[in-house]
Amino acid sequence: MSNTIYDIARQAGVSIATVSRVFNESPNVSSKTRKKVQNVAKEMGYQPQGMAQGLARRKKNVIMAVVPLLSNYFFLQVLNGIQDAISETNFELHIYNVKSSEKPVDQLKRLLGRRWADGYLFVSIHLSDSEWKMISQFDQQMVLIDDAYSACNYFQVNNKQGARKATRYFLEHGFKRIALITAKEESIPAAKRRQGYIQTLTDWGLTPDESLIVSGDTQYRDGFNEENGYEAMQKLLEQTPNPEAVVCMSDIQAIGAISAMKEQNLSLPIIGYDDIQLAKYIGLSTMRQPMYKMGKEGTNVLLDQIGKDQPKVVQKEYIPDLILRSTSSQQN
């Protein structure tokens, strides 16, 4: 069960070139030999070894999705889109995740050098422009999802606008003391959403109150986790007066926050972020990000560009939609 092209060739009484030809669907094989080879191969459970093929062809037929941490609902949706796009092709999808213990850019450099794949999807990998520049120098095909760099393909959603929309909604409904449950300070999307929130308040003639911008202390997944939301809400509820409404940076934090409110028999209006699948079922109002769509479109672009030498770069920015359900109103 551990045979090579030589074993098949010998067994079928042909040369290895012929075996190779039938596996590569070359037309230049008589249907008789083809049949024979196929039978032998099937019988012996033979498949060409991927690595040998990759080396010989200088093409691997794999695309690699690089993600920071798999344990995140956001990625799940993106990956769904990626998978659906890939499954229509004969490419394989391999997923690689960067560890938090080492600088992402260093990990990427090492990874790209190894040439595992024909193309790379970087999902929610946030690098500086100079870092992305380094990465582009490997000249591998790639597309960024949920980040942007001027010289690359990217699919991104406007974080500032997302936070603005949520904040504006509450302002328009008469709320003034609007809290923001944020994530890890260093998170780039978090920083942008925070800006959007602050600008919106300012535009409205209000002075942003730093004490209403909080995050929990639990920091894994950059703070985008249930416990973080729970802790953040506890901090908010210690303040008097309480905030009148709260904007979150993820649905998952909103769930934690709601749990903290329930413990105190409160239910302030709250808006999450992402629109993960279960948001609908708990009535969570939220900023919807087109996660599936980004994954699918990004993958299609990548697939399309593989093989071409000077593909034109495609860049797209989405604006998140405000999905109103029950948690955003006063009497939820």
Partner DNA sequence: TTGAAAGCGCTAACAT
Partner DNA sequence: ATGTTAGCGCTTTCAA
Return residues touching a copy of itself (CB under 8 A): 1-2, 45-52, 54-55, 60, 70-71, 76-77, 79-80, 83, 87, 92-97, 99, 101, 109-110, 112-116, 137-139, 225-226, 230, 252, 255-256, 258-259, 262, 277-278, 280-283
User: For the purposes of burial, counting CB atoms within 10 Å of the CB of 113, is it exposed (0-12), middle (13-18) or buried (19 or more)?
Assistant: exposed
Nearest to 231 by CA among 216, 242, 220, 253: 216
Quote the tokens at residue 271. 């808006």
Q: Which partner from the list a copy of itself, DNA, none does 76 bind, CB cut-off 5 to 8 Å by kind?
A: a copy of itself
32 scored as a contact of DNA (CB under 7 A): yes
- Rounded distance between C-alpha atoms, residue 54 and residue 34, angstroms: 23
Least Å from the CB of residue 111 to DNA: 14
Q: Which partner from the list DNA, a copy of itself, none does 93 bind, CB cut-off 5 to 8 Å by kind?
A: a copy of itself
Q: Which stretch binds DNA (CB under 7 A): 12-20, 162-170, 245-253, 255-263?
A: 12-20
Q: Which partner from the list DNA, a copy of itself, none does 21 bind, CB cut-off 5 to 8 Å by kind?
A: DNA
- Rounded distance between C-alpha atoms, residue 227 and residue 217, angstroms: 8
Coil, helix or strand for 212? helix
Quote the tokens at residue 241. 């007066």
Least Å from the CB of residue 52 to DNA: 4
Choosing from 35, 39, 43, 52, the residue that interacts with DNA (CB under 7 A) is 52
**Of the two residues 16 and 76, which places its CB atom closer to DNA in the complex?**
16
**Of the two residues 9 and 198, which places its CB atom closer to a copy of itself in the complex?**
9
Quote the tokens at residue 85. 């796009």
Pairing of strands 286-288, 270-274: parallel
- Rounded distance between C-alpha atoms, residue 329 and residue 324, angstroms: 9
- Rounded distance between C-alpha atoms, residue 215 and residue 230, angstroms: 9
**Of the two residues 196 and 298, which places its CB atom closer to a copy of itself in the complex?**
298
Beta carbons of 250 and 218 less than 8 angstroms apart: no
Least Å from the CB of residue 226 to a copy of itself: 5
Beta carbons of 262 and 319 less than 8 angstroms apart: no
Q: Which partner from the list DNA, a copy of itself, none does 259 bind, CB cut-off 5 to 8 Å by kind?
A: a copy of itself
Residues in the chain: 332
**Of the two residues 54 and 208, which places its CB atom closer to a copy of itself in the complex?**
54
- CB atoms closer than 10 angstroms to residue 2: 7
**Of the two residues 4 and 218, which places its CB atom closer to DNA in the complex?**
4
Q: Which partner from the list DNA, a copy of itself, none does 252 bind, CB cut-off 5 to 8 Å by kind?
A: a copy of itself
Least Å from the CB of residue 192 to a copy of itself: 25
Nearest to 185 by CA among 224, 134, 142, 222: 222
Q: Which stretch binds DNA (CB under 7 A): 13-21, 75-83, 275-283, 301-309?
A: 13-21
- Rounded distance between C-alpha atoms, residue 53 and residue 2, angstroms: 16
Show contacts of 23-26: CB within 8 Å, 24+ apart.
23/48
Q: Which residues bind DNA (CB under 7 A)?
A: 4-6, 13-21, 23-24, 27-30, 32-34, 46, 48-49, 52-53, 55-58
